[in-house]
Structure 1
């Protein structure tokens, strides 16, 4: 004789299961979130679980559990952004077992499939949390990259990009975009790329610098690379790196003087 369907078992004993579940989660989180918020999350997860089971779903990848997976992903992402730990996030699902243990003592039917399903839900929650946290870290890294790459206006028509740290492909793209946007916004025709804060220049770094200069020139701006220290100059010579007709200077001050002279010379030629 077939047993009671799992969704019916959960529905019939919903109050007992959810009470034990909520108590376990609240004890673990210890005020990290309000009881009302926990009840809302719990209700969404529980209802989606019962609905999926009612449609014949037995594994988490079943289409009937689409809403459940979406709910778990939303909860995981929210917890990641609020700074919860993986344990604090996963307990929102794994604590459901406390309710199922109560259920197991009250019914004759086998609820072990539900326990296995909760394990799958917990693993999915943990994976969703990890993916969300990686996304957050990537966003923060991008924001820090933008903050660490300012483009400043030194004079009318002259902007500078003081670089500090390693110059890789990702950062080159940020530098290029910010420089080009600033050239357009300010109407500048001179750009100084200062590498005083770049610890070392190798062939790859040089290529990144050249790409940035070419991009600026396409916008009609002349570029100067400043911050060529003795050690950097020796390295560039040893590696056989050629900057071609790109102007280089030892310091940002020297580059600014050159840019001002160039602008004055251009202005005099126009007046003449």
Structure 2
């Protein structure tokens, strides 16, 4: 900020009215967050900001940097804890209202004019706060999407040396990459010889999905693991034939049970206790 007379008067008003303006600011912000922050925590937070605002608006560059850093950290914390954009922004903009209400009670006409520059400064801080909040929320959403994708692509142990990869939903490039990475890492950990990729829950299989599956199978094959694709329902089989999709020498089975039986047989395991035994 510059050291103009208007700035100096606003700074003086902030100092002389610190208690009532700060109390009103805390009241306004406290109402917007609806008790999600305790009053002592909010008072400590806004008291620090109030002091930084005074110094920064008076031309203290160090305080200006500290103020922006503090607001950025508050914005990130609000975003991570699920506060709305308006709940975050009011924490800054309410300072203007608190000061305006105090000026109105004094009927100081000169102070009304001085308030314009201060309002513009607070608006600038509020915009920076919102930008930080938005960036943090985008990162939070991206992290959650990645976690959900990982949860939706589990690799489970069906038998010694046999893994199962049940897929549900849409299989796109990003998800296939997660499937491949998870499967290959599990193969390293377990040294499994077979992997059953079950697509019973995959809504549709087209050329792109088939290519994704084949890439995963080839990657596993390079690790010394044979993949079996199961869950090819009649409708899916008809689509595959219509599109002319070729799985080559990849073994396919109608169900995961059939695929597991195949893998067990190739592993030399004979399961007894069935109805025919």
Matched, 1:146 2:150: yes
Q: CA deviation at 1:102?
A: 4.2
> 200, 215, 239: which is aligned to 2:243?
239
Q: How does 1:53-202 map to 2 (within 5 A)?
A: 53-55=57-59, 65-102=64-101, 104-105=103-104, 108-109=110-111, 110-202=114-206
- Could you tell me which runs of 5 or more consecutive residues in structure 1 were left unpaired when the two chains were aligned: 58-62, 266-272
The 1:3/1:65 distance shift into structure 2, 3 A limit, reads closer
CA contact (8 A) 2:7 2:117 kept: no
| 1:179-214 residue CA offsets vs partner (Å, 9 max, x unmatched) | 111111112111111101101001111111111111
CA contact (8 A) 2:205 2:236 kept: yes
Q: CA deviation at 1:170?
A: 1.4
* Distance (Å, rounded) in 2 between the aligned partners of 1:55 and 1:121: 15
Alignment-derived partner of residue 49 in structure 1: 53
Q: CA deviation at 1:48?
A: 3.1
3-state secondary structure, aligned to 2:165: strand
Q: How does 1:12-31 map to 2 (within 5 A)?
A: 12-31=16-35
Q: CA deviation at 1:103?
A: 5.1
3-state secondary structure, aligned to 1:264: coil
Q: CA deviation at 1:86?
A: 2.0
Q: CA deviation at 1:126?
A: 2.7
CA contact (8 A) 2:7 2:118 kept: no
3-state secondary structure, aligned to 1:201: coil
3-state secondary structure, aligned to 1:136: helix
Alignment-derived partner of residue 275 in structure 2: none
Alignment-derived partner of residue 268 in structure 1: none
Q: CA deviation at 1:79?
A: 1.7
| 1:68-115 residue CA offsets vs partner (Å, 9 max, x unmatched) | 232222212222222222222211111101222145355645121111
* Distance (Å, rounded) in 1 between the aligned partners of 2:200 and 2:35: 49
* Distance (Å, rounded) in 1 between the aligned partners of 2:161 and 2:180: 18
* Distance (Å, rounded) in 2 between the aligned partners of 1:120 and 1:169: 41
The 1:10/1:212 distance shift into structure 2, 3 A limit, reads same
Q: Return the TM-score normalized by structure 2.
A: 0.85
- Could you tell me which runs of 5 or more consecutive residues in structure 2 were left unpaired when the two chains were aligned: 270-277
| 1:242-262 residue CA offsets vs partner (Å, 9 max, x unmatched) | 212211111111111111121
Q: Return the TM-score normalized by structure 1.
A: 0.86
3-state secondary structure, aligned to 1:111: helix
Tell me the matched-pair count. Answer: 260
Computed over aligned residues only, the root mean square deviation of the Cα atoms, in angstroms, reads: 2.3
